[in-house]
Amino acid sequence: MKQTPLNARHRALGARMVEFGGWDMPVQYAGIIAEHKATREGAGLFDISHMARFWVTGPDSERFIQLIDTFDISKTAIGQSDYGIMCYEDGGIVDDIFTYHLGPDEWMVVANAGNAEKDWAWLNQHTAGYDVVLTDRSQELAMIALQGPKAESLLAPLTDADVVNLAFHGITKATVEGAAGYISRTGYTGEDGFELFLPAGEIERIWDRLLEVGATPIGLGARDSLRFEPGLALYGHEIERDINPYEAKLGWVVKLDKGPFIGSEALHDIKANGPVRTLVGLEMTGRGIARQGYPVVALDGSELGVVTTGMPSPSLGKNLAYALVKAGSLKIGAEVDVLIREKPVRATVVKTPFYKARYKK
Amino acid sequence: MSNVPHELLYTKEHEWVRIDGNSAVVGITEHAQRELGDVVFVELPDVGKSFEVGEPFGTVESVKAVSEIYAPLSGEITEINNEVVDSPELVNEDPYGEGWLAKFSFTTAPSGLLSAAEYERYINDEANK
């Protein structure tokens, strides 16, 4: 199993370690609920070095990203970043990504750990005719996230960068406790916060310092519950090889008017015809927790779809779920059954997202 | 180090059993609750239902995981802990006490259960794998 440069730190902190996307990662330290609340109320510190960091440089870097990304990055200024999706020709999803515009002809693409090899191959497969250089810097640069309402005040004294005035989705070169890298105002929790890209050899020291000044270490368990409440998609759940962005309610990330890109023809047709399935939010009213893969059925027992993510929401104190169901089959307030170990348990379709993100914009 | 009370018997599925005459109280071990994390949901069978040894008789869920609980012996459920259904966190707070799950009555004495020493060795071996 692969290890991040912070592996020994997780073990020393008494984390429970699990395999995730081929990596030996902390799933929890003190407990998912406590960590979840610490992030919503204070500042949570996450090791996300398992994610992929690919550099795209060269005169055609922007044109190349426009080819592989559904989003229109022509308006992403230097020092800004945007959420994007890489699609297959048929509109299915390769991965969701963040594209950071670092400098003239210099971009960083951050992708999911579990998809890193596939994404790297996918990018390299499409460079023909583009004057670009792809560099995998995932090993040399560690990546940590500091998220929550106290993230800004904890980070500001430790860096030369003006993080207080760093824009939402902005990225800047920064020195943190003497280590040179980047800080961005991005994250995956629905809170204000930052992601730090710093040399792997110096990350233990910076991790320790952030804990010292009051950040709480957060494992993958709470990372999942924190992204679930504000409705941030997770590959393998809401998005997948056979789920397209319109089904996943990510149509806003698909910019068909920017010109052709991989998947644009198929996505044009999907949009014109309307997606076959759609993502809805469910609140369990019966006793039970919906989990990924559980069938969702109408009250007469007819099939509607399947749960993509479900769990007890630590912030809202309800058992909630996202489900991918037949498009147009369910309105807000409709009642359905979730089959939990073959038993129907009642749920109501509710508005999403469950939790309103509190970004500093 | 896990707390493994010496007066109890155990299973490799991390249940503990307290035998008293022809009845047995069953719960999950301190090690099991720690591995699971915050317990948020407990589902137990109706009193009067019978289970064969090894058959799942209930479910304990954490924020992230669903874990079935297996009957450590063959018998009939004579009592369930309704407190733990209402307050699942009792499984974390007091796994060998207020966090007990169900009481079985049995006619054939259970066999194949682990002693505290055997269970302790088992979880240490698992950890070193």
Tokens encoding B66: 């669903």
Question: Is there a contact between A138 and A51 (Cβ–Cβ < 8 Å)?
Answer: yes
Residue A33 has its nearest CB partner, among B38, B41, B66, at B38
Does B63 reach chain A within 8 Å, measured CB to CB?
Answer: yes
Please tell me whether residues A87 and A210 are part of one structural domain.
no
Rounded-to-integer distance, Cα A225 and Cα A111, Å: 19
Residues 6+ apart with CB under 8 A from A313: A225, A228, A229, A319, A320, A354, A355
Residue A63's Cβ-count burial label (10 Å; 0-12, 13-18, 19+) is middle
Residues of A with CB under 8 A from a CB of B: 16, 27-28, 31-34, 221, 224-225, 287-289, 291, 311-312, 314, 319, 341
Please tell me whether residues A34 and A159 are part of one structural domain.
yes
Please tell me whether residues A43 and A153 are part of one structural domain.
yes
Q: What is the pLDDT along chain B (129 residues), one digit of tens a residue?
A: 579 999 999 999 999 999 999 999 999 999 999 999 999 999 999 999 999 999 999 999 999 899 999 999 999 999 999 999 999 999 999 999 999 999 999 988 899 999 999 999 999 998 776
Question: Is there a contact between A223 and A36 (Cβ–Cβ < 8 Å)?
Answer: no
Closest approach of chain B CAs to the CA of A312, in angstroms?
6
pLDDT for residue B126: 84
Tokens encoding A195: 């992601």
Which CATH number belongs to the domain containing residue A319 in this structure? 2.40.30.110
- Confirm or reject CATH 2.40.50.100 for domain B9-109, answering yes or no: yes
Rounded-to-integer distance, Cα B99 and Cα B84, Å: 6
pLDDT at residue A147 above 80? yes
State the average pLDDT over residues A62-69: 98
pLDDT at residue A226 above 70? yes
Q: Do A221 and B61 touch (CB under 8 A)?
A: no
Please tell me whether residues A65 and A129 are part of one structural domain.
yes
Please tell me whether residues A32 and A71 are part of one structural domain.
no
Rounded-to-integer distance, Cα B63 and Cα B36, Å: 9
Please tell me whether residues A185 and A325 are part of one structural domain.
no
Please tell me whether residues A154 and A46 are part of one structural domain.
yes
Last residue of a domain, one of A100, A121, A136: A136
Q: Do A225 and B63 touch (CB under 8 A)?
A: yes
Q: Do B41 and A288 touch (CB under 8 A)?
A: yes
H/E element holding A27?
Answer: strand A23-28
Rounded-to-integer distance, Cα A65 and Cα A61, Å: 6
Please tell me whether residues A144 and A221 are part of one structural domain.
yes
Range of the domain at A179: 7-51+139-228
Which CATH number belongs to the domain containing residue A120 in this structure? 3.30.70.1400
Tokens encoding A19: 């395999």
Per-chain mean pLDDT for chain A: 97
Closest approach of chain A CAs to the CA of B38, in angstroms?
6
Residue A31 has its nearest CB partner, among B35, B37, B59, at B37
Residue A198: beta bridge partners? A142
Last residue of a domain, one of A84, A101, A136: A136
Rounded-to-integer distance, Cα A355 and Cα B4, Å: 41
Closest approach of chain A CAs to the CA of B101, in angstroms?
17
pLDDT tens column, A176-215? 999 999 999 999 999 999 999 999 999 999 999 999 999 9
Q: Say what angle helices A220-228 and A32-41 make with each other, to 10 degrees.
A: 60
Unique residue bearing structure tokens 């440089």: A57
State the average pLDDT over residues A36-48: 98
Tokens encoding A231: 């409705």
Phi, psi of B100 (to 5 degrees): -60, 155
Tokens encoding A258: 């920017």
Q: Do A33 and B35 touch (CB under 8 A)?
A: no
Number of A–B residue contacts, CB under 8 Å: 38
Please tell me whether residues A158 and A131 are part of one structural domain.
no
pLDDT for residue B2: 78
Closest approach of chain B CAs to the CA of A224, in angstroms?
9
Rounded-to-integer distance, Cα A62 and Cα B84, Å: 57
The reply to whether A256 falls in a domain is no
Question: Is there a contact between A39 and A191 (Cβ–Cβ < 8 Å)?
Answer: yes
Which CATH number belongs to the domain containing residue A220 in this structure? 3.30.1360.120
pLDDT for residue A361: 85
Rounded-to-integer distance, Cα A84 and Cα A71, Å: 5
Query: In this prediction, what percent of chain A has a pLDDT beyond 70?
Result: 100
pLDDT at residue A331 above 90? yes
Q: Which amino acid is at A347?
A: A
State the average pLDDT over residues A165-180: 98
Alpha-carbon distances of A279 from A238, A243, A244, B37, rounded to whole Å: 8, 10, 11, 29
Please tell me whether residues A68 and A119 are part of one structural domain.
yes
pLDDT tens column, A235-294? 999 999 999 999 999 999 999 999 999 999 999 999 999 999 999 999 999 999 999 999
Please tell me whether residues A126 and A198 are part of one structural domain.
no
Q: Which of B2, B35, B38, B85 to mutate to test the interface with A (most CBs of A within 10 A)?
A: B38
Last residue of a domain, one of A84, A109, A136: A136
Residues 6+ apart with CB under 8 A from A302: none
The reply to whether A208 falls in a domain is yes
State the average pLDDT over residues A140-148: 98
Q: Do A32 and B41 touch (CB under 8 A)?
A: no
The reply to whether A88 falls in a domain is yes
Handedness of CA A257, A258, A259, A264 (dihedral sign): negative
Q: How many domains does chain A have?
A: 3
Please tell me whether residues A281 and A329 are part of one structural domain.
yes
Chain B nearest-CA residue for A318: B40
Annotated domain spans of chain B: 9-109
Measure the N-to-C terminal CA separation of chain B; round to a whole number of Å.
16
Closest approach of chain B CAs to the CA of A72, in angstroms?
36
pLDDT for residue B127: 79
